[in-house]
Amino acid sequence: MHPKRLLVFAAALGLTLLSARASFAADDLNSVLSRLDASAAKFHTTSADFEADATQTDPVPDTDVLKGVEYYQRNDSTFQMGVHIATDNDQPAPKVVVCCANGSIQLYEKLLNQVTTLSKLSQYQDWFRLGFGASGAELQEQWNIQYDGPETIDGVRTAKLEMTAKDPKVRKTLPKVILWIDPDRAISIKQYFDEGQGQSRTVHYTNIKVNQSLPKDAFTFKTDSKTTYVNR
């Protein structure tokens, strides 16, 4: 895994209906965000199996599929994430990504026995919080949000949110994000990241557990005297 490898009507009657529909959509979005506010206040931890499909259409079509387990923990303003990758295209590829207790992101590649620290990416740590314990207010602070209605995924009624970053620097590298989020648990079931230039990433979460104890190595990895360290 590369270290840098994340929203017409015309006639008079039509305009009236559009106005009413727009108001209804706004009410729906406000309702979703309010439910997220309430559930985020009770959020502490999450663990989930994931499948992340990274797709490239240009210059050569390609898809890379990562599978593993993710862990999230929030205590007040402190946020931690641990991504334990097991396979890459069904081949063993043990890696661990941890963020962001020390203001950096670290990638441990077990087969290389190498730790890469990505301190320059710490400004984007809010990407990792998307849909896991983030409140409606937090999302609105960073993103322009469009509510695309409800959608059921894996038997869960989710709210589909199409989002564009308010920060132009983020928008340049991440033009659009779509979350399929369960507002009553403040968790994503599915995420889509448009990374621009013909690249996108879709992440699907299953076996989701909320506010349960996490393993001791959720946000750590084991190194030894032969581990090499790289800063980027």
* Tens digits of residue pLDDT in 124-147: 556 666 778 889 998 999 899 999
36-76 pLDDT tens trace: 999 999 999 999 999 999 999 888 888 999 999 999 998 87
Residue 208 lies in a domain: yes
Task: Tell whether 1 is covered by a domain.
Answer: no
Q: pTM here?
A: 0.84
Based on its alpha-carbon atoms, the radius of gyration of the chain, rounded to whole angstroms, reads 19
Containing structural domain, residue 170:
12-231
Number of domains in the chain: 1
Give the model's confidence band at 118: pLDDT under 50 very low, under 70 low, under 90 confident, else very high: confident
- H-only helix segments in the chain: 12-40, 125-128, 136-142, 168-173
pLDDT of 93 > 90? The answer is yes
The C-alpha atoms of residue 116 and residue 119 are separated, in whole angstroms, by 9
Q: For the chain, what is the total number of helices (H) and then of strands (E)?
A: 4, 12
Contacts with 185 (C-beta within 8 Å, 6 or more apart), sequence order: 39, 43, 208, 210
Kindly state whether residue 7 falls inside one of the protein's structural domains. Answer: no
Look at residue 2 and tell me if it is in a domain. Answer: no
Domain harbouring 48, CATH code: 2.50.20.10
Q: Examine residue 188 and state whether it is found in any structural domain, yes or no.
A: yes
62 assigned to some structural domain: yes
